[in-house]
Amino acid sequence: MASVDEHIDNLLKRYPVLEYNKKQLIDAYAVLEECYENQGKLLVAGNGGSASDADHIVGELMKGFYLPRTIENELSDRMKAIDYRLGKELAGKLQRGLPAIALSNHNSLNTAVLNDIDGNICFAQQILGYGVKGDSFLGISTSGNSKNILFSAIVAKAKGLKVIGLTGKGGGGLSEFADVLIDVAEEESYKTQELHLPIYHCLCLALEDRFFGDDKSECCVRKKKR
């Protein structure tokens, strides 16, 4: 089981430009680790390409990323007791997850908020409904100034969530509200997004190792399927 330091060092070997962000990565990981240790969840939001990044992050957290994350024997036994054949099939396929929600995916709700109230509060409205103290919010904005992300950060902090900002250089307005800011040393959106992906992959890998690192079976199968 690799430590978070090992994952970050491996990242920096491949992306030396992120050396500046090393402490930020360590701090962001600590926030997420504490969140999941206390049965919390991660709420993620972004716009455009950053919305796709939010969805990508959720995909890596909610199922096996590098490891298979075999479900617990107790849960497997309970499903088999309900229906042995179907329960056994489920137990062999289900993977443990780290709870995460991409707020950009809820089209009916988001368009209702846009039409009825104000599109800039679409994510903040969901944080109001989903968020509880102990959860975390990850706001992705290449400029750090996206109004719907700033509104979301304010609601998150008011409700007791820890806020992580993933931005371009300087962090923009989000730097004022983030408990941890990861601001990569780029100002153009596409260059910023090119560095966001390896950062959140690193965090997801480190979290998976922390919570599922005892489950090494068939990890190579997962890699081949990618």
Which tens digit of pLDDT belongs to each residue from 40-59? 999 999 999 999 999 999 99
Question: Would you place residue 214 in the very low, low, confident or very high pLDDT band (cuts 50, 70, 90)?
Answer: confident
This prediction has a pTM of 0.93
Assigned domain for 30 exists: yes
> What is residue 216's predicted lDDT score, i.e. its pLDDT?
54
Assigned domain for 122 exists: yes
Residue numbers of the domain that contains 149: 4-66+97-225
Count how many domains the chain has.
1
Assigned domain for 81 exists: no
Assigned domain for 89 exists: no
**Six token digits for residue 6:** 């090992």
Show contacts of 33-37: CB within 8 Å, 24+ apart.
Answer: 33/4, 33/207, 33/210, 34/162, 35/134, 35/135, 35/136, 35/162, 36/98, 36/99, 36/207, 36/211
**What CATH number did the domain enclosing 214 receive?**
3.40.50.10490
Which one, of 197, 200, 202, 139, lies nearest residue 172 by Cα?
139
How far, in whole angstroms, is CA 53 from its chain's centroid?
A: 9
> What is residue 215's predicted lDDT score, i.e. its pLDDT?
72
Assigned domain for 80 exists: no
Assigned domain for 176 exists: yes
b (16+ CB within 10 A) / e for 38-52 = eebbbbbbbbebbbb
Assigned domain for 86 exists: no
> What is residue 219's predicted lDDT score, i.e. its pLDDT?
42
Reply yes or no on whether the pLDDT at 223 is more than 70: no
| First vs last C-alpha separation in the chain | 21
